[in-house]
Structure formats: structure tokens, C-alpha cells
Amino acid sequence: MNKQLYIKEIQALFDDVQRSRIFEDQKMMTDAVPVFPVAEINDEYEKRKGTEGFDLRDFVMTHFDFLGAKVSVQREDRLPIGEHIEKLWDELTRDAYEEKGTLLKLPKPYIVPGGRFNEFFYWDSYFIMLGLQVSGRTEMMENIVENCSYLIQNVGFVPNASRTHFLSRSQPPYFSLMLELLFDTAGDETIYTRYHDTLEKEYAFWMNGEEWLDHGSSVKRITKTTDGDLLNRYYDAENAPRPESYLIDIEDRESAGNEEFYRNIRSACESGWDFSSRWFADGEHIQSIEILNIAEVDLNCLLWHLENTLAKSSALQDMREKENYFTERAAKRRQMINKYFWDENTRIYKDYHIKKNTKTPSEHIAALYPLFLGIADQEQAEGVANAVAEKFLYQGGLVTTTKNSGQQWDFPNAWAPYQWLGFKAMKNYGFDELAEKIKHNWCSNVERVYKNTGKLMEKYNALDTETIAGGGEYPNQDGFGWTNGVYLTLKQN
């Protein structure tokens, strides 16, 4: 069986299962593992469906295993939060030494986010590593890096998560930051040289197609502006409903009237922000999603870091030509970040609309990236810091956008990654008081919810700290990898 085609090989059954809503969560069927050869399951299904007394749910439960029950760790003897997280690292550890259903095999154990997310996720893993560093679990940090490298070497990139139906997209490229974090932990410079080839392969994935571009055109993850400058965007190779949200996508597509609707939805998943008004043409409705028309400030900052890291790893190996090449690329991208994403009027970084040649209206917390990575100048940093204090920081932490659309990556939700980015960004430019406030507000929120529920959540409500966060396609999940990681590292800093 070709693992990459697995869901397509059971497409008729899969389609019927998802459309019949026999599972509350559509991810259930994508994670199911066939217990008989797929051809046999298909034959049996064709024979039996529509016959008297046939029960689709019973058929599925008989022919598939549903491995990896949800991780929900709630103890009567409520441990202090730090001790609880230490126990969670072990309970969130998985391995996949062979492929099962849609699950990709990986060479090393890893940490899963928790709840319905029972596989290796790309950008989550960086924020998990921050906590592993505090916990002294260097070997698991190394495992995460090794798994990412394995995927880049074998697939060409790190998929959104380690399942076959994510092989058409990645997630925010954090691999170079993972290496930096591992170097800061272990102090071993050979980390950069050992993974140089992996860094180059990931860079080639994000830059694939640049030689085909005319001014004002886009291909895959890269766009050339009318001025002839290169910027990157999020993209997915497929234009079809997501298996894990199959029926939701089909229903949303019916009212969208956009031939690239599915690809836009999938591309937003590559950004990690699925979903947000940040991507909506009308700022309100998912049917107006147009992420393919947008070059993002966060992605371009992360690729600047990748270029910088490639220059560094080239220098360590005396590869002068490559060092010069990546140094020049990073310098050029730094200029482009300030040319295309800095908004002089609102004094904040925004995304860039490729077709309209203008900034997008959405004000969002990804404006932190140029400060987190040290790309902004002091004056720009001051503008962002003012916006953070006035528009984004609430009693329970930093919100993602200023718009309440009902989507989970919008106001009033506070997500762990941006609390760390916010704290570090403010520290980098001397806004220590604001950094401490971000840390205090969010950590207090996490502690309050833990005290009340015994759980660490995927996201938090920053505005109403009496309420658990909501919005999105599924209920708020507990576990939760990146919350655990960011909480531990903030408490130590």
C-alpha cells in the first residue's frame, strides 16, 4: 500500500463516513488504522453497504483501530503546576517506528501536543523544546531536531504534522531556531555543521520556483512583487477538502464561490493560524479567505533567520561562496521586511497584499517577529511595543488580533507561542516592564485555569479570565505541549 495514497485508497468509504457524521470529530477517521488489507475492506464495503441492517459505524469500528486515546491528565491529588508538567512530558511522549494508517514513521520518540493531536507537529515542537530545556531533557530536544531532519531529508520539508494527508504542506519553518535553541543548551557548534545539508534542503523547499517568476507573479510559496523583490507566502500543493475537516470544508466551499477555496484553507493551516480574520478579504467570513494573495511578516522573518543560520553554518565550514550568498540573501530580506511589512501610519508590522500592492488591514500579533528576531530598529520596536500595550495585552495575556470573528486565532484568545515571542521581543529592545506584564498576565491565567480544572489548555481567553477559550472547528484541547513549554520557560526567565 502506498502510504501517501492511503486515504485516497479508501475514498468511497472515507467520503461516506465523513458525510454521515458518525464521529463528532472528523479527525477520528483520518487517524484510524485499518486492521485488514485495504483492498479487502473496500470489497467488503462495496458488497455490504446499502444492504438490510447494514450499520456504517459498526462496519468502521470492526475494520479499523482507533489508536491513541485522548491525553487528559487530571489527578485528584492536584500537584503543583510545575510537577504536573514534568509528569506530562512522559505522558505526552510517543514513538512511531513503523507506519500505521496515516501516521508517518519517525526515527526518534517525540512529544505530541495532547487532546485530539496525537502526532508530531512542526512548529509546536519548538515551543515544547523551550520547556524541555528548562526540564533538562536535552535528549528529547535532540530527538525533535533529529525527527525534523529525517522528514526534511526524506520528504523535502517538515509536514504540518506526521501524517500522510499533511504531505502537501509544512508549517512555520522553525528548524533553524530549533538548532539555535539546542546550541544554546548544549553549546556544541557541530550542531550547525551536522545539519547544514538539512537547512539547505528546507530552504530549497521554501524557495522552490523562484527562477520561474515574472514581476507581479507567484508560484508555490514564493512571489515576486511588481518591483521585482522576492517574498514568501504560505501555500498547500493540493486544492481539495482537508481529510481531517472534510465535511466542514465542503460545506464552506459551497457558499464561497472561489475555485481556490480549498487551497486557501489548507494554506492557512500551513501558517499555523487556522483560522483568523487575518486571512479574510472581508475581515469577517471564512468564505472570503485569500491567504494565497498575502505575503506574511512572520514567514519572511523566519526565512531571514534560516538564511542567517545558513550563512553561519557555511562560515563554520569555510564555505566562503555559500557564506556570502546567504549573507547577501539575509541582508536583502531584512530590507524587504521593512519595505513591505512595516506600516508607517499605524507604527506596526502588517502583512502585504500581493495583488493590491498594499498592506493588509489586519492588526495582528505576528508583528512581534521582527522584534523577536532583532530585525526591527529601536524606533520600529517602540511603535510595536506601544501597539502591544494599547491593543493586544489584556488581563489574561496577549491576544492574536484586534477583531472578534469567532475564529480561534482571533480576539479574545491568547496562544502560548505569542506570549514567549512577546516577552522576548520586549526584552530584546529594553521594554522590560512590558515584558514582565506579558509574562505575569498569561502565567496567572494558566495557573488559574489549572487550579480550577487540573488541566493545561491549548489556548486561553485573555479578556474574560473566568472563561475557558473557544472558537474554531473543535473544542479547546488539553495537554498541552506548547503551553507546558512556554509556561516553564517564562517562569524561569
HSE-up (13 A, CA, CB side) for residue 24: 3
Q: What are phi and psi of 218, to 5 degrees?
A: -135, 150
C-alpha Rg value of the chain to the nearest Å: 22
In whole angstroms, give the CA distance from residue 185 to residue 218.
39
Residues 6+ apart with CB under 8 A from 372: 301, 421, 424, 425, 428
* Cβ–Cβ < 8 Å for 193, 313: yes
At CA 104, angle to CA 101 and CA 109, rounded to 5? 120
Q: How far is CA 170 from CA 86, 160, 232, 318, in A?
A: 29, 4, 13, 31
C-alpha cell at 20: 454521515
Helix, strand, coil percent content, the chain, rounded in steps of 5: 55, 10, 35
In the chain, what is the greatest distance between 2 CA atoms, to the nearest angstrom? 73
Number of neighbours of residue 97 by Cβ within 10 angstroms? 9
End-to-end alpha carbon distance in the chain: 49
Burial 257-271 (b: 16+ CB within 10 A, else e): ebebbbbbbbbbbbb
Q: What are the catalytic residues?
A: 274, 458
Starting from the edge strand earliest in sequence, which strands make up the sheet with 352-353, in order?
Answer: 294-295, 352-353, 358-359
Burial 388-402 (b: 16+ CB within 10 A, else e): beebbbbebbbbbbb
* Cβ–Cβ < 8 Å for 192, 178: no
